[in-house]
Structure 1
Amino acid sequence: MGKPTRLILVSLASLVLFCFVCEAAEPDGFFRKDKVQVNITNNLPGGVSLTIHCRSKDDDLGFQTLAPGVSWSFRFRPNAFVSVTLFYCSFQQRRALEAERCRHFCLWSVQPDGPCLFNTNDGKYDICLGWKPESSRLPLPGSMA
């Protein structure tokens, strides 16, 4: 390969790399995914508080204690290249949970029989997951691949 061809290839590779870097720096760039919002509400009866701990591989949101009827939410942007970011939320209750994937807005209601995900198809919290005997762990996928 001659020097002019090599120079052209290096220039093109540099330009592509520069475009990726500039795109990543833009908040609404082509490769940026829409943010996902997760909302969790404590609907446990009898004045029972709910303690939640949510984290991903990269972020730990800490422990949140919700009084009855109180909601807590967080937002995150899924990984731009694989379109999925997993968040896990553990509740101070009794069950390991497998969650349905939601796309951009994940509404959860924690009730006596377990957490329920809002079903956008019928407008109800009817994707419910009961409690297991030990601590619960709830995977909250960022978006569907």
Structure 2
Amino acid sequence: MASISKTVLFVSMLLTILFAFHFKDGESIFFVVPKVTVYVTNNLTNYVQLGVHCKDKNNDIGFQSLHFAESYTFTFRPAYMSYRSLYFCGFSFNNEFHRFDIYVQKRDQTKCEHECHWQIKESGPCKINDGSTECFPWNPNVVEDRQLGHTLNV
């Protein structure tokens, strides 16, 4: 009976130590997904000032006002194996407001392994990757009607 108790105690202590090392400093030391830094650069013509506000479901990165050629940056660690990381931004300029999903893990993970570079133009954001440029339209404007429980494109 004493040997079973010592074995159980030893195994539980070993598991506790392994678990503590696994989540050292709040991050797993196993299966570490590299951090991604997103760069959003104001490329609006006529030196228009750009307001940028980015966030994900749980983290509000904050608002910044950018002059021409200035960048807004943030760094995060994408989800491991679930492809669920999503960061979205609101953009304001010339009395207009637009939205865009600036990092969609399923779309961006292979092309933005460590860095994701975006240039914001009047027509929409353009991703710069290895000398090539891929431009996207703004997200449709969506208004949620809370009383009716559905969303409307406006």
Task: State if a TM-score over 0.5 links the two structures.
Answer: yes
**Equivalence for 2:129:** 119
1:42-81 equivalences in 2 (<5 Å): 42-79=42-79
Deviation at 1:39, TM superposition (A): 0.5
Deviation at 1:10, TM superposition (A): 5.0
Deviation at 1:40, TM superposition (A): 0.5
**Equivalence for 1:142:** none
Aligned AA (1:104): H
Please list the CA deviations of residues 49-75 of structure 1 after superposition, one character each: whole Å capped at 9, or x if unmatched.
111111123321111111111112111
What is the aligned-residue RMSD (CA, Å)? 3.0
The counterpart of 1:129, out of the listed 125, 130, 136, is 136
**Equivalence for 2:89:** 89
C-alpha change, 1:133 and 1:87, in structure 2 (3 Å) is closer
- Identity level (%): 32
Deviates more, 1:11-20 or 1:51-60: 11-20
Deviation at 1:76, TM superposition (A): 1.5
Deviation at 1:85, TM superposition (A): 3.3
Task: Tell whether 2:29 aligns with 1:29.
Answer: yes
Aligned AA (1:15): L
CA distance, structure 2, for counterparts of residue 132 and residue 86 of structure 1? 14
CA distance, structure 1, for counterparts of residue 17 and residue 85 of structure 2? 25
Please list the CA deviations of residues 89-127 of structure 1 after superposition, one character each: whole Å capped at 9, or x if unmatched.
22223355585313221111111210011234xx2222x
Q: Which has the larger radius of gyration?
A: 2
User: Which runs of 5 or more residues in structure 1 are unaligned?
Assistant: 136-145
Contact 1:106 1:117 in 2 (8 A): yes
Return the TM-score normalized by structure 1: 0.70
Deviation at 1:30, TM superposition (A): 3.0
CA distance, structure 2, for counterparts of residue 24 and residue 82 of structure 1? 19
User: Which runs of 5 or more residues in structure 2 are unaligned?
Assistant: 143-154
CA distance, structure 1, for counterparts of residue 115 and residue 3 of structure 2? 51
